[in-house]
Amino acid sequence: MFVMQPAIEVRDLRKTFKVQRNREGLAGAIRDLFRRQYVEVTAVKDISFTIPRGEICGYIGENGAGKSTTIKMLAGILVPTSGTVRVAGYVPWREREKFVRHIGVVFGQRSQLWWDIGVIESFHLLRKVYRVPAADFRRRLDELVERLKLGDLLHRPVRKLSLGQRMRCELAASLLHNPAILFLDEPTIGLDIVVKTEIREFLLQLNREHGTTILLTTHDLQDIEALCSRVIMLDDGRIIYDGGLDELKARWSRGREIRLQFGEPVGLERLERLTADLPGVRWQLGEGMSAVMRVPREVGMSEALARVVGSGVDIRDIKFAETSTDEIVREIYRSGSAAGAERLVGVT
């Protein structure tokens, strides 16, 4: 039987950098001249994960958590200190030139296009570099031009493009050779919401129609919500969460909230009495005759709301809110691990 190989397989991956430490002051600088001090910094600490083909996986973490280092090892740019990596069946750094034909890479901060010449010229050069047959290239280019709306941009020099236009061209450039795996490092950084949405839709379509496996790092959690079925969260070089986005939300969300604005002063006791028979519902008084009711998933929203509305309290305004992924992730970062976050959220 044909067994599908995973797109990305990482075992005990570690990367250590030797960083030069500069001593303070002029005397220190002179001493550095003769004997340099080095500090070993481990950017990625023995991480393991597997990404099956066709998955869109979000790789998140704060600055310096080791995201870029991991992606660069997966793309064959950096050689790991220890551990094993297999991407598309290759050991990336060892068989680099053969391997990179199967991947596409976009680093949001850096351009892969020639600055002074028309976008299409860069595309033609990339076609030669990747040895894409002319017919395949034509078909692929037409598709990308239509999907990413590049029609007007192709003949403009890259330096005259806006960031959003450039980003669309970068994406197209990385996909001309129809790679099985796409690495995106901060693909939506600095873009306006319209372009962000366009790019997300494009990536979803790409994944659906070509089965392209996508691994992306981002600081924008809306990217994750829009695209990813799976999230890997990194902190200080270690994986602190690896699983579905829904699961992350379900487990660490504080649940849903109903924010109420009253027309009269209402005491906490009175509110708590109203929902006493609903397990897990909690109240918190806000400023100026307002209150927040936290409703756990087991309790129906309508039921919870009915208790308050039916009690004769003068209600002026009702707002519904759900803990956003942003808040959850911020909470997890703050506590340092996903397990810790659970405890922390449980208390509030």
Partner 1 sequence: MFYLGLMWEYFKNYAKSRMTYRADFWIEVVSDLTYQAMNLAVILIAFRHTPALGGWSEAEIVFVFGFFMVPYGIFSCFFDLWNFGERYIVKGEMDRVLTRPAHNLFQVMLENMYPPGLIGSFVGIAIMAVTARQMEMAFGWTDLVMLAVLTAGAVLVYFGLYTAITAIAFFTDAPTGILPLMYNLQSYGRYPVTIYNRTMRFVLTWLLPFAFVGVYPASFFLERSGPGDLRMALLTPVVGMVFTAIGLTVWNIGVKRYRGAGS
Q: Is 200 in the site for partner 1 (CB under 8 A)?
A: no
* Amino acid type, 244: G
CB 92 within 8 A of CB 75: yes
Closest distance of CB 241 from partner 1, Å: 20
Among 30, 31, 84, 115, binds partner 1 (CB under 8 A): 115
Q: Pick the piece of the chain touching partner 1 (CB under 8 A) from 126-134, 274-282, 294-302, 304-312.
A: 126-134
Q: Is 69 in the site for partner 1 (CB under 8 A)?
A: yes
Q: Is 121 in the site for partner 1 (CB under 8 A)?
A: yes
Q: How far apart are CA 279 and CA 295, in angstroms?
A: 9
Among 1, 3, 20, 347, binds partner 1 (CB under 8 A): 20
Q: Is 98 in the site for partner 1 (CB under 8 A)?
A: yes
Q: Which is nearer to partner 1, 130 or 262 (CB)?
A: 130
Q: How far apart are CA 271 and CA 260, in angstroms?
A: 11
| Footprint on residues 44-63 left by partner 1 (CB under 8 A) | 63
Q: How far apart are the first and last CA of the chain?
A: 51
What are 326's two structure tokens?
A: 């942003």
* Selection from 4, 6, 51 nearest residue 230 by Cα: 51
Q: Pick the piece of the chain touching partner 1 (CB under 8 A) from 5-13, 121-129, 225-233, 299-307.
A: 121-129
| Lookup result for tokens 């939300």 | 249
Among 110, 152, 346, 347, binds partner 1 (CB under 8 A): 110
CB 291 within 8 A of CB 266: yes
Q: Is 76 in the site for partner 1 (CB under 8 A)?
A: yes
Size of the chain in residues? 348
Q: Is 97 in the site for partner 1 (CB under 8 A)?
A: yes
| 148 SS3 class | helix
Sorted by sequence, the CB contacts under 8 Å of residue 290 that are 6+ apart come out as: 259, 260, 261, 262
Size of the site for partner 1 (CB under 8 A): 39
| Footprint on residues 153-192 left by partner 1 (CB under 8 A) | 157
Sorted by sequence, the CB contacts under 8 Å of residue 65 that are 6+ apart come out as: 234, 235, 236, 237
Among 103, 150, 171, 203, binds partner 1 (CB under 8 A): 103
**Burial grade of 46 (CB within 10 A; 0-12, 13-18, 19 or more):** middle
Among 14, 45, 53, 101, binds partner 1 (CB under 8 A): 101
| Lookup result for tokens 């060892």 | 94
Among 7, 13, 68, 165, binds partner 1 (CB under 8 A): 68
Q: Is 333 in the site for partner 1 (CB under 8 A)?
A: no
Closest distance of CB 322 from partner 1, Å: 33
Residue 224 backbone phi and psi in degrees, to 5: -60, -45
Q: Which residues bind partner 1 (CB under 8 A)?
A: 17, 20, 43, 63-64, 66, 68-69, 72, 75-79, 93, 96-98, 100-101, 103, 105, 107, 110, 112, 114-118, 121-122, 124-125, 128-131, 157
